[in-house]
Amino acid sequence: DAKCFLALLNGIARRNYYGHSQLTDDVLKKEIYPDISQEEFVRIISRTFGLVKSLVSADMDMTQLEIFLTAQMSRKDGALTEDQAGALRKFWKANKSKVHASIVSQTMWANSLQKF
């Protein structure tokens, strides 16, 4: 469902980009998808992380996001649903600049340490 998918997107962003390392896969599963099998959760989180990684690495604007979502929804296996696409759209609109700032900050910090 879209609400759970959005919660997972936010959990992944918080863990991977905002420093909330306590949000392990186990915590995310227990809080968001307690009733699915571990195998199914691994499939969902892997796919969802891949989607987020694609958005982040391409630093997609909203036009690029729409093209990406259309392609993802038309895939034969593992296609995004319209509800999931809506959740991803909402997530990226709310988090794009924060994720970008986090990555820039981490990169600048790493460069400062290397120079030190």
- Long-range contact set of residues 23-31: C-beta below 8 Å, sequence gap at least 24: 31/7
Please, which pLDDT band fits residue 76 given cuts at 50, 70 and 90?
A: confident
Query: How confident is the model at residue 114, as a pLDDT?
Result: 56
pLDDT digits (tens, 9 = 90+) for 44-61: 999 999 999 999 999 999
pTM of the complete model: 0.87
Domain positions in the chain are 2-115
Mean pLDDT of the chain: 91
112: pLDDT strictly greater than 90:
no
Say which range, 26-35, 87-96, 98-107, has the weakest mean pLDDT: 98-107
9: pLDDT strictly greater than 70:
yes
DSSP one-letter string for the chain: -HHHHHHHHHHHHHHHHS--TT--HHHHHHHH-TTS-HHHHHHHHHHHHHHHHHHHHHT--HHHHHHHHHHHHT-SSSPPPHHHHHHHHHHHHHHHHHHHHHHHHHHHHHHHHHH-
Query: How confident is the model at residue 105, as a pLDDT?
Result: 80
CB 45 within 8 A of CB 13: no
